[in-house]
């Protein structure tokens, strides 16, 4: 069944940090890893989350309600973008950490990882922190349409060791590859799906692909 996402709440600061009492999966990743494009692909909508060629565009925590079901995807601000001021980066880091450590309904964090890059220090730090905090991690290798099959498999195997054994999802917001697999893993963590083999990708909804030269945000 196709999922529908609705932006229900936007959190800009500590005073607004009140998450719903419902199961949640957070999306985390470095700036420009493709979170907004991934969200749009998951929703089958072109502009649910705004994409930009400027890294660090998302400056808030955005809560998306998933239908059917009273459950949520939570888009966290991108981390690791050095061109933002130290004050801004410190503010985002504190907001992200407080959400992750203080949300009882958080079921897992989907950490988005650029398939074209070797493991980055900020990604390794995030994964290590989540694992030390006993928060389940769903690894997602993004932009696989820009990597050869051999690179995809190499990155999958490399990250599987860092993630505790489970291979990350291979995902492309351009082609829709990985759509069914990612939703399956999200549903399992939310308690609304069964641990079954990934379905065929032929039901992936079509959305407008990013224009040439405009990187995923």
Domain limits, the chain: 4-203
Please state, in angstroms and rounded to a whole number, the distance separating the CA atoms of residues 108 and 140: 13
Please state, in angstroms and rounded to a whole number, the distance separating the CA atoms of residues 23 and 71: 5
The pLDDT score that the predictor gives to residue 68 is 81
| Helices 35-43 and 179-190, axial angle in degrees (round to 10) | 90
Please state, in angstroms and rounded to a whole number, the distance separating the CA atoms of residues 60 and 42: 20
The pLDDT score that the predictor gives to residue 112 is 97
What lies within 8 Å, CB to CB, of 186 at 6+ separation is 25, 73, 108, 110, 138, 193
The pLDDT score that the predictor gives to residue 110 is 98
The pLDDT score that the predictor gives to residue 58 is 54
Task: Please name the fold of domain 4-203.
Answer: Rossmann fold (3.40.50)
Percent of the chain predicted with pLDDT > 70? 77
Intervals of the chain under pLDDT 50: 52-56, 196-205, 207-217
pTM of the model: 0.83
The pLDDT score that the predictor gives to residue 92 is 67
In terms of Cβ atoms closer than 10 Å to its own Cβ (0-12, 13-18, 19+), residue 69 is middle
């Amino acid at each position: 069944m196709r999922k529908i996402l609705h932006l229900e709440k936007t959190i800009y600061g500590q005073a607004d940090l009140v998450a719903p009492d419902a199961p949640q999966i957070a999306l985390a990743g470095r700036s420009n890893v493709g979170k907004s494009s991934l969200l749009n692909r998951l929703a089958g909508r072109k502009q649910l989350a705004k994409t930009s060629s400027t890294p660090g565009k998302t400056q808030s925590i955005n809560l998306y309600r998933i239908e059917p079901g009273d459950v949520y995807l939570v888009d966290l601000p991108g981390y690791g973008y050095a061109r933002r001021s130290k004050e801004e980066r410190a503010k985002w880091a504190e907001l992200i950490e407080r959400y992750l450590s203080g949300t009882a309904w958080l079921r897992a964090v989907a950490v988005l990882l650029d398939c074209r890059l070797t493991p980055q220090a900020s990604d390794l730090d995030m994964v290590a922190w989540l694992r030390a905090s006993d928060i389940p991690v769903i690894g997602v290798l993004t932009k696989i349409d820009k990597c050869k099959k051999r690179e995809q498999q190499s990155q999958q195997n490399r990250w599987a060791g860092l993630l505790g054994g489970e291979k990350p999802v291979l995902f492309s917001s351009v082609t829709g590859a990985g759509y069914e697999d990612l939703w399956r893993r999200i549903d399992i963590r939310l308690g609304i799906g069964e641990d079954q083999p990934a379905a065929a990708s032929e039901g992936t909804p079509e959305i407008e692909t990013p224009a040439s030269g405009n990187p995923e945000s």
